Amino acid sequence: MTQSRAVAAVRPVFAGWRIMRSDAGRLWATRERPFPSAVEEAGAHRTVDGDDLVALCQAIAAQEGIAGGRAR
């Protein structure tokens, strides 16, 4: 599977995040809606990057984990 097809495959998993590739080939994702301010104060970042798709997915999951922990 090509990197582009792999990115398309994870979009439904991370709904609400827009995934992009830089000119240098690095992957970036930005959350379409900001986190609530309390979640940002807890350390969640709206934009993350990764060297590859696995790293990007881990970065997104980490931010959503922070948000989920803060929501409790």
Looking at residue 15, its pLDDT comes to 83
Asked if 47 and 21 touch (Cβ cutoff 8 Å), the reply is no
Q: Measured between alpha carbons, how far is 23 from 25 in angstroms, rounded to an integer?
A: 5
pLDDT in tens, 45-62: 999 999 999 999 999 999
pTM of the model: 0.79
Q: Cβ contacts of residue 55 below 8 Å, gap of 6+?
A: 27
Going by pLDDT thresholds of 50, 70 and 90, the confidence category of residue 31 is very high
